Amino acid sequence: MAQQTLPQVPIKKGEPAYKLWIFEPGWKGELPLILNPRQLAEQKRPAILPGHRLCAGCAAPIIVKLASFAFRGPTIVVNATGCLEVATTIFPYTSWAVPWIHNAFENAAATASGVESAIKAMKKTGRLPWAHVDVVVFGGDGGTFDIGLQSLSGAAERGHDFLYILYDNEAYMNTGIQRSGGTPKFAWTTTSPVGTVLPGKTQHKKPIADIMVAHRIPYVATATPAHWLDLMKKVRKGIEVEGPAFIHALSSCDRGWRHDTALAIEVSRRAVDTCYFPLWEWTPETGYRLTDRSLSIARNPKMKQPIEKFVEVQGRFRHLLKPENRHLLRELQEWVDAVWEDLLNRATNAPR
């Protein structure tokens, strides 16, 4: 087996810097979930390879990388059409170190249903040379909130065993920053421009994770790449549960959100600190449970930052900072507060 195309990067300890994920037939066991950063760097290699052509500073590959650190063994990745798909497989190159399929825009969950069913059928007939093969889907907000919602809902209802990771960059970034069901209110996009009459998008973001909770699938969570340990733990849980799991991961886009390329992690942190994007998980047994930073904020409300902190670093919200638009910012704050309060009421681990 030769992988001549993998560069030999000098590594003294552990594994080479880049490798294909090879699970020979008969491979047994379970890859450990490593949470110590040093050990992680020495032992784990991402399922996404360098040389991909996503923009500098894009959060999507960080989410994929972190998620793949939590894979437990043989895994097939399904990708909806979108930035991630387009930029990681520009023929003749692929950035995927694991088996990967892109079918179309609106059907990632249906495609995953087929992959998962094939795995089951082959297992049943003794043709699957592994104890389990996991199926993980990556879809953007367009492919999840909008055009792909039907196929996602159908697959969730049918109970296929896969983890769907939504990387939500809050607009159709692949086609050039058009508004989606995931775009927040007042955000500028090319189809919700800030004009003399309209202040950007005029509708709020669709509560996609709550919609998935309403399906009462085994596991739903939110995550950001900034809260990387939280994200990895959630991915592992999502893979481990039997049946569909859904993770809504906020994925900043420096071009669409109009911020410096260095701020992908910073802006994700601010999204959580302002409670614009609270971190939680839900299972039918435990209900909503706040996690990581959001749990800390619930316990110590003083930590909660005003929405300006999230808005001020992003050009898409620039107009909200103008004095004449203070009322819009206030409206956004009220919306964030209301959603957060609602979540606090539902969260079983929030202080009463």
Partner 1 sequence: MSQPRGWKELPIGAVPFRLSTDYKTGDWRALRPVVDMNKCVKCMLCWIFCPDMAIIWDGEKILVNYDYCKGCGICAHECPVKAIDMVPEPSE
Partner 2 sequence: MTEAVTPKIPLEKQKLLTVNGDEAVAWAAKQSLVDVVAAYPITPQTIIVEKFSEFVANGEVHTEFVPVESEHSAMSACVGAAAAGARAFTATAANGLALMWEILYIAASLRLPIVLAVANRALSAPINIHCDHSDAMGMRDSGWVQLFVENVQEAYDTTIQAFRIGEDERVLLPVAVNLDGFFLSHTLENIHILPDEAVHEFLGGYRKVPKVKVDYFEEEVPLMLNPARPLSFGPLDLYDYYFEHKMHQIEAMKRVPEVVREVNEEWYALTGRRYGDGVLVPYEVEDADVIVTVLGSTAGTVRHIVKKLRGEGKKVGMVRIRMFRPFPHKELAEILKGTKVVGVMDRAISFGSYGPSFLEINTALYDLKEKPLLVNYVYGLGGRDAPPALIEKMFEELLRDAEKGFVEKKLRFLGVRE
Chain residues in the site for partner 1 (CB under 8 A) = 3, 5-7, 9-14, 17-18, 20, 37-38, 40-42, 46, 48-62, 65-66, 88-95, 225, 228, 254, 260-266
Total of residues contacting partner 2 (CB under 8 A)? 62
Residue 243 backbone dihedrals phi, psi, to 5 degrees? 110, -175
* Least distance in angstroms from the C-beta of 83 to partner 1: 12
Which of the listed partners (partner 1, partner 2, none) does 112 bind, with a CB threshold of 5 to 8 Å by partner kind?
partner 2
Is the Cβ of residue 93 or residue 337 nearer to partner 2 in the bound state? Answer: 93
Residues 181 and 207 sit within 8 Å (Cβ to Cβ): no
Is the Cβ of residue 83 or residue 110 nearer to partner 1 in the bound state? Answer: 83
* Least distance in angstroms from the C-beta of 7 to partner 2: 12
Helix, coil or strand: residue 157: helix
| Contact with partner 2 (CB under 8 A) among 107, 180, 251, 274 | 107
Instruction: Confirm or reject binding of residue 153 to partner 2 (CB under 8 A).
Output: yes
Is the Cβ of residue 10 or residue 29 nearer to partner 1 in the bound state? Answer: 10
In sequence order, what are the residues at sequence separation of 6 or more whose Cβ sits closer than 8 angstroms to the Cβ of residue 347? 280, 287, 288, 289, 290, 298
**Could you identify the residue written with the tokens 């992988």?**
3
* Least distance in angstroms from the C-beta of 310 to partner 1: 16
In sequence order, what are the residues at sequence separation of 6 or more whose Cβ sits closer than 8 angstroms to the Cβ of residue 119? 76, 128, 133, 135
Instruction: Confirm or reject binding of residue 196 to partner 2 (CB under 8 A).
Output: no
Query: How many Cβ atoms from other residues are within 10 Å of residue 328's Cβ?
Result: 18
Is the Cβ of residue 53 or residue 216 nearer to partner 1 in the bound state? Answer: 53
Is the Cβ of residue 48 or residue 177 nearer to partner 1 in the bound state? Answer: 48
Is the Cβ of residue 54 or residue 209 nearer to partner 1 in the bound state? Answer: 54
Kindly identify the residues of this chain, within the stretch 62-91, that bind partner 2 according to CB under 8 A.
Answer: 73-76, 78, 85-87, 89-91
Kindly identify the residues of this chain, within the stretch 112-141, that bind partner 2 according to CB under 8 A.
Answer: 112-122, 124-125, 127, 129-130, 133
Give dist(CA 51, CA 22) in Å, integer.
20
Give dist(CA 164, CA 331) in Å, integer.
32
Which of the listed partners (partner 1, partner 2, none) does 124 bind, with a CB threshold of 5 to 8 Å by partner kind?
partner 2
Is the Cβ of residue 86 or residue 241 nearer to partner 1 in the bound state? Answer: 86
Write out the two tokens for 12: 């003294």
Write out the two tokens for 270: 């601010």
Cα-trace Rg, the chain: 20
Which of the listed partners (partner 1, partner 2, none) does 11 bind, with a CB threshold of 5 to 8 Å by partner kind?
partner 1
Strand-pair category, 219-223 with 280-283: antiparallel
Give dist(CA 229, CA 196) in Å, integer.
43
In sequence order, what are the residues at sequence separation of 6 or more whose Cβ sits closer than 8 angstroms to the Cβ of residue 168? 140, 141, 144, 145, 182, 208, 248, 249, 250, 251
- Binding footprint of partner 2 on the chain (CB under 8 A): 1-6, 20-25, 73-76, 78, 85-87, 89-92, 94, 96-104, 106-107, 110-122, 124-125, 127, 129-130, 133, 150-151, 153-155, 157-158
